[in-house]
Structure 1
Amino acid sequence: MHKGSISARLFWLSALWLVVALIATGLLLTALYSRALERSQIETLNFNLETLVARSLESNGLDSPEVQAADPRFDRSTSGWYWQISSLEGDLINLSNSLVASQIPQLLTPFDKQNARTGILSDDFGTRLRIIERKVTVLGTQYIFAVTGNVDDIENLTGQFRQQTFIVLGAVGIMLAIMSALVARVALRPVGKLAAAIEKVRSGEAPSVEGIYPRELTPLADELNELLRSNTQIVTRAKSQVGNLAHGLKTPLAVLRNEVANRDDELAGVVHAQVEKMNEQVKTYLDRAQMSARSSIIGSRCNVNKVVPRLVRVMQKLHKERVCS
């Protein structure tokens, strides 16, 4: 009875595990990449904020043209990379070239102990911005320095990375699936070898399961050989007992036949007929015992296609009056 394939089960289980593992790996790599981009953006914004503060302190005034951020992205309009300097009341003092005709959204969260605060808001163009603000005292007056970075850029880069990652992982998954299928076939070859050895025993070509098998299959092969030896001993004893019984009955039957040989009454005829039937049965079982003794392998088989035609030819010669085919 066949119920599925071990190699197919191994393949589908490994394929399912590969799909789950690769998807989890892709999501994990994407999350790590996104976090790395966020940390890089925050470090870049802090660097440019410190640059603005330093140049403001070195210049003649906060509205001086010398006050500029180091990153050229602050010069591109609607890039999402903005900076501005404003008073506590919200009056603009200086701003980046990218912030022309616009203004950085105002954060409502309070400043922390380092006089800094951060948040994510959208500008007038719908671009999501990461905003970092810091209160700085210049010549006894407090000002708010603010810089922003484009959060949508991070999401776009993350999406592209996710797509490329799953393409690569998909190719790796296909190669691993092919490899797992090959490994399953190679790993199950000893099982096929064991099945072939058992078939040889069943067909009478071998007396026992022969061959060298892996450690996992060796106990099974040994147990099969023990079972075969046990069955052989049982069958041998049964045949011996049948032969002994036939030999034991042969002498009493001969005596009975001799006793009724010289009598011609009805009882003698009945006894003689039954004795002859019993002699035929005894002879049959003795012949079978002799044939079994010649065979060293229990369960040996012959090629019917070769034997039957010969028997038909013999029967046709012996019984020409009958049709044998």
Structure 2
Amino acid sequence: MLSLRQRALLGGLATGALSVGVGTLIVFSYINTRVLEQFDQTLRDRHTQLVVGLSATTHNPEALRELIFDPAYGTPYSGRYWQVTDGNGATFTSASLFDETISEPVRVSEEAIVWNTTGPESEAVRSAYQRITFEDGTEWGVTVAESRRELISERRAAQNNLLPVFGLVGLIGVAGSLLLMSAIIGPLKKLRADVVHRWDKGDDLIPEDYPEEVSPLVEDLNKLLHRNREIVSGSRRQAADLAHALKTPTAILRNELAILSDAGADIEPADDALNRIDAQLKRSLARMRASNTAELTHSRTDLTNSVNRLSRLFSVMAEREGKSLTTDCEDGIQVRMDTQDIEEVIGNLLDNALKWCRTTIHIAAKRVEGGIEICIEDDGQGIPEDALDGVVRSGGRLDTSVSGTGLGLAICVDLMNAYGGKLKLEKSADLGGLACRVLISS
């Protein structure tokens, strides 16, 4: 379906083209009519001139050739002719007719008749004819004619003079269509930008700031914004409440397991099951929080600050184990993700890297084409290519010698999917272990 912008543009162009086209046809029709009227009036004037000349030479019609001083009448087939016919059928013509004649209309009237006929060599001419009776009692058929080439030439000249004008009118019409489109789309663009702004700041849209046709939509959007804020706030609050409610029973169970362990009981299966429950709950809460936040928020997180803060935290943890963490992060990077969610992704990946590396971890964050890339590498044993898909599935663990639930990467994948991002696992080209690349669209 065409966008409103495309519809407005195409509609404006179509309307402008139709208006210019219809206007051109109307004006050209008017010009053709006016040129024909002027052409016919000139014929009548020449006809009157010939009648006046004939009135003085009815006794000697041959003298008309010397009396009518128009060079075109003396040039054979020049396109301008005259002809007179007496009551006896004798015909006298201008030299331009040479030895031919012009046909006369069958029906005549007291007024001069202007009509289309043929001239010498079947040339299309426009002729003015009238039968005149003079005071001496003689009756004459008087004809003047002009080649229709002249009429066509005059019409074309008038039309060519107006074509640039219509071209200019067309350009003005296109410019008007673009301005009209901007005027129509402008309030909708403003509304779109204001919705993003108001969502971030929690303000309401003001219906009076928009045209009256858009005001009802603005009021409905206000209601929707309120509802969405309530959904996001409620979901995150419920997730936080649930997590808090589960901490106490989990702590009690761990204390009981610790007591049993001190008494010499084998608690490894129970401890492992409890760890998995904790991880599954953590994953479910993270998915719940992200699914109700990612599409409804336009907040941005200072990624540079988050990476540097987590790097300091994990550097301390790495030093305790005789390992090192290096950081390379560009300044001023921001991402369209909730701070808690992006930090949970980075934290899980750093935690995995710290578990599996031998001595070195490196984290880098930079701008790339189309978004932001975070890469966390280690010098551990890495993951075989045929097992990369398995480690992101729930509980997918390749090595059980290190404590964990295997859900860290799965949680990262869930969070990135919620925000339209990607998590890619590959071999580290620099350190030789695993490289986790997080791609987030900007």
Normalising by structure 2, report the TM-score.
Answer: 0.54
Match of 2:200 in 1: 205
SS of structure 1 residue aligned to 2:140: strand
Distance 1:284 1:134 in 2: 106
- Aligned pairs (5 A) from 1:1-325: 6-7=4-5, 9-54=7-52, 56-57=54-55, 59=56, 61-63=58-60, 73=70, 76-78=73-75, 79-92=78-91, 94-96=92-94, 99=96, 101-107=98-104, 109-114=105-110, 117-124=113-120, 127-138=123-134, 139-185=136-182, 187-200=184-197, 205-208=200-203, 210=205, 212-242=209-239, 300-320=299-319, 321-322=322-323, 323-325=360-362
What is the Cα deviation at residue 46 of structure 1? 2.9
Is the contact made by 2:50 and 2:68 (CA closer than 8 Å) also made in structure 1?
no
What is the Cα deviation at residue 75 of structure 1? 5.4
5+ long unaligned stretches in structure 1: 287-296
What is the Cα deviation at residue 179 of structure 1? 4.3
Structure number with higher helix proportion: 1
Distance 1:283 1:15 in 2: 57
SS of structure 2 residue aligned to 1:104: coil
Q: Which amino acid aligns with 2:19?
A: A
Q: CA distance change for structure 1 residues 243 and 38 in 2, over 3 Å: closer, same or farther?
A: closer
5+ long unaligned stretches in structure 2: 286-295, 324-359, 363-442
Is the contact made by 1:243 and 1:285 (CA closer than 8 Å) also made in structure 2?
no
Aligned-residue identity in percent: 21
Give the CA RMSD over aligned residues. 4.5
Distance 1:5 1:233 in 2: 31
Q: CA distance change for structure 1 residues 91 and 210 in 2, over 3 Å: closer, same or farther?
A: same
SS of structure 2 residue aligned to 1:198: helix
Q: CA distance change for structure 1 residues 173 and 299 in 2, over 3 Å: closer, same or farther?
A: closer
Q: Which amino acid aligns with 1:168?
A: V
Distance 2:186 2:87 in 1: 80
SS of structure 1 residue aligned to 2:84: strand
Q: Which amino acid aligns with 1:41?
A: F
SS of structure 2 residue aligned to 1:205: helix
What is the Cα deviation at residue 230 of structure 1? 0.7
Is the contact made by 1:37 and 1:154 (CA closer than 8 Å) also made in structure 2?
yes
Structure number with higher strand proportion: 2
Deviations 1:79-137 (A, max 9, x none): 43322221245312x544x5463443123x42245376543233325643212222223
Distance 2:257 2:195 in 1: 54
Q: Which amino acid aligns with 1:26?
A: T
Q: Which amino acid aligns with 1:228?
A: L
Distance 2:219 2:204 in 1: 8
What is the Cα deviation at residue 60 of structure 1? 6.2
Q: Which amino acid aligns with 1:86?
A: T
Q: CA distance change for structure 1 residues 274 and 106 in 2, over 3 Å: closer, same or farther?
A: closer
SS of structure 1 residue aligned to 2:103: coil
SS of structure 1 residue aligned to 2:158: helix
Question: Which has the bigger relative contact order, CA under 8 A and spacing at least 6?
Answer: 1
* Equivalent residue pairs, number: 309
Q: CA distance change for structure 1 residues 65 and 284 in 2, over 3 Å: closer, same or farther?
A: closer
Q: CA distance change for structure 1 residues 128 and 194 in 2, over 3 Å: closer, same or farther?
A: same
Deviations 1:209-229 (A, max 9, x none): 646333344333332221121
Q: CA distance change for structure 1 residues 222 and 267 in 2, over 3 Å: closer, same or farther?
A: farther
